[in-house]
Amino acid sequence: MKSIDYTLYVCTDRALMSSKTIEESVEKAIKGGAGVIQLREKDAPGLEFYEIAESVHSITERYGIPLIINDRVDIALAIGAEGVHVGQEDIPASAVRRIIGPDMILGVSASSVEEAVQAEHDGADYLGVGAMNPTATKRDADSVSIETLKAIRSAVSIPIVIIGGININTIEHYKGLGVDGLAVVSAVVSAPDPEKSAMELKSAWLM
C-alpha cells in the first residue's frame, strides 16, 4: 500500500478560493498541513486544465505532497501527477487502473457499501465517501449517513476520506469511526487565511 498522509486532503476550487491564484491557495493549504492536494477544476477547458496542473504540480513536488487530478486521467498522465480520482459516473475504476498502471494513486468516490467494495476490487487505493453534509460544491449529491459510513468502513480495508460539508464544526461527528482523513474544499480554500484554517482543522481532527 502506498504511504500517503490522508489526514487533510484539500481539493481546489478557483470559484471559491480566497487567494489571488490557485498556486497561492495550494501552497497555503500545504503549509497548513495538507497531505494531499486534489486539482478539481471541472469547468476548465483541456489546455487550461493542463497548464494549471503543471503549475500546481511544481508546487506539490517541491513539498513532497502527492497531486491527485480529478476525473482527467489524460492530464494526470501527461503531467506525471501522483494520482487520479474518479467518480461513479466517470471512466470505471478498473479501466482507470489498467490505464495508469499499478504505481499511481487511484481514488474513487463512493456513497454505498456496494460502490466501496467494487472500488476496492477494481484497484482503488482510497475512497472518497460522501457527501456527508450539504455542500456548495455538490448541491445535487446524496448524503451518506453515519450508519452507511460505518458499514463502508467495515466492508473495505483501504483508507477512507470523508467529503461534503466537512469543517471545524462538523468533524466531531466522525471521530472514532475509522476514518483516515478529511477531504475539504471551502473549509480551507475559502477561508480568509487558508494556512491557518488548514492547521486548525487538522489539529482539531487529531485531538
Tell me if residue 150 is catalytic.
no
Active-site option among 40, 72, 153, 202: 40
Please report the domains of the chain, with CATH numbers, ordered by start residue: 8-206 (3.20.20.70)
Catalytic residue among 72, 97, 109, 197: 109
Catalytic residue among 55, 138, 143, 196: 138
Decide: 9 and 34 in contact? Cβ < 8 Å.
Answer: yes
pTM over 0.85: yes
Convert 136-194 into a string of H (helix), E (strand) and C (coil): CCCCCCCCCCHHHHHHHHHHCCCCEEEECCCCCCCHHHHCCCCCCEEEECHHHHCCCCH
Q: Is 40 a catalytic residue?
A: yes
- Quick: pLDDT tens for 69-118: 999 999 999 999 999 999 999 999 999 999 999 999 999 999 999 999 99
111 catalytic? Reply is no
pLDDT digits (tens, 9 = 90+) for 21-53: 999 999 999 999 999 999 998 889 999 999 999
Which of 62, 5, 58 shows the shortest CA–CA distance to 36?
Answer: 5
SS (H, E, C) 81-125: CCEEEECCCCCCHHHHHHHHCCCCEEEEEECCHHHHHHHHHCCCC
